[in-house]
Amino acid sequence: MYVITGGAGFIGSNVAHTLDARDAGPLVIVDRLRDGDKWRNIAKRPLADIVHPDNIHAFLAENTRAIDGVVHMGAISATTERDADLIVETNFRLSRDLWTWCAEHDKSYVYASSAATYGDGNEGFNDEMSQGGLSKLRPLNPYGWSKLLFDRWVEAELRNDVPRPPQWAGLRFFNVYGPNEYHKGRMQSVVSQIQPIAARGETCRLFKSHNPDYEDGGQLRDFVSVDDCANVISWLLETPSVSGLFNLGTGNARSFLDLAKAVYTAMDREFSVEYTPTPEDIREKYQYFTEANMTKLRDAGYAQPFLSLEDGVGQYVQDFLSADDPYR
């Protein structure tokens, strides 16, 4: 049995899909469904249970023997969230508690870190798990800081040689896109935001560049399909000898202009673009370049190729966003 926190969310629900498809065993979703359509993300999955986050500790205590591992995707993931107290409680303390539980009970533990830990990227994008390397990073928002805070806590646990889970993996997700992200509102990927505009045959709008080193639309990101992210997590759970902190991107930065063109191509629409100022609330904390160094994951043995931007966007647009039922 695998427990997936944030399991009704974007990445978590895709992990549930992949583990279900590979007969990984019973799946338990830990999440808040509330009164929106988030439940649709898991409506097609056979589930052993759905647990409210407030009840997770009781559930773990009552089902310890049946659980093989915890996949901790639950977090406050909005980079615009400013309630640092809430972020710490959710993104740091719960992550720490689940690590400790997995260490005490010999369970695998996979958790979501983030490329937001790298800040403006001046220190590079190397998934180094060392005290010195982590101390150099300067995240640009409370979300990124909370993820780095937990990475640093894990590093200290490892350095002090205290009990740890028999397998652990922290994943620094880069710019993930794919199905089941529709509940995220403004935090949805640019792909899902552009697709309805392309479907209407209208002009695409992208953020202007406020950095003289980048042209409008030339801001670069490592866009990675959620399918690849779920495949990596499944591989990790199937490969218990592998532990570590790993980047999860493609290793190939592409521009937002490339991304937008890929959406219009998938929709078979003529492409046109205009540029709008970046919102002031994110302008000063905006990343102009991210690109995952994927050497560490490859050296650990992950050999499956990652989808190209054109292939990944094409599949997402044609198989989901353009379908009557866009849910996986």
Mean pLDDT of 5-22: 98
pLDDT at 79: 67
pTM: 0.95
The answer to whether residue 157 is domain-embedded is yes
Q: Give me the pLDDT at residue 283, please.
A: 81
| Residue among 184, 208, 285, 296 flagged as catalytic | 184
Judge whether 256 lies within some domain: no
In a domain, 99, yes or no: yes
Number of domains in the chain: 1
Q: Which domain holds residue 150?
A: 2-177+223-251+291-306
Residue 182 within a domain: no
Per-residue pLDDT tens digits for 237-294: 999 999 999 999 999 999 999 999 999 999 999 999 999 999 887 887 788 999 999 9
CATH assignment of the domain containing 62: 3.40.50.720
pLDDT of res. 24: 95
Over the chain, what is the mean pLDDT?
A: 95
Note if 118 is an active site residue.
no
To which residue do tokens 């779920």 refer? 230
Task: Tell me what the mean pLDDT of segment 298-319 comes to.
Answer: 98
Residue of 118, 143, 177, 302 with catalytic role = 143
pLDDT of residue 75: 86
Cα–Cα nearest to 294, from 138, 156, 126, 151: 126
What confidence tens digit (pLDDT) does each residue in 42-88 have?
A: 999 999 999 999 999 999 999 999 999 999 999 887 766 778 888 88
The C-alpha atoms of residue 3 and residue 144 are separated, in whole angstroms, by 24
For residue 318, tell me if it sits in a domain: no
Question: Does 16 or 161 have the greater pLDDT score?
Answer: 16
pLDDT band for position 90 (cuts 50, 70, 90): confident
Q: Which long-range contacts (CB under 8 A, 24 or more apart) does 187-195 make?
A: 187/77, 187/78, 187/79, 187/80, 190/256, 190/259, 190/260, 191/259, 191/263, 191/313, 191/316, 191/317, 191/321, 192/316, 192/321, 194/259, 194/260, 194/263, 194/264, 195/263, 195/267, 195/317, 195/321, 195/322
**Averaged pLDDT for residues 4-15:** 98
319 lies in a domain? no
Is 269 a member of any domain? no
Mark whether 286 is an active-site residue: no
Decide if 64 is inside a domain.
Answer: yes
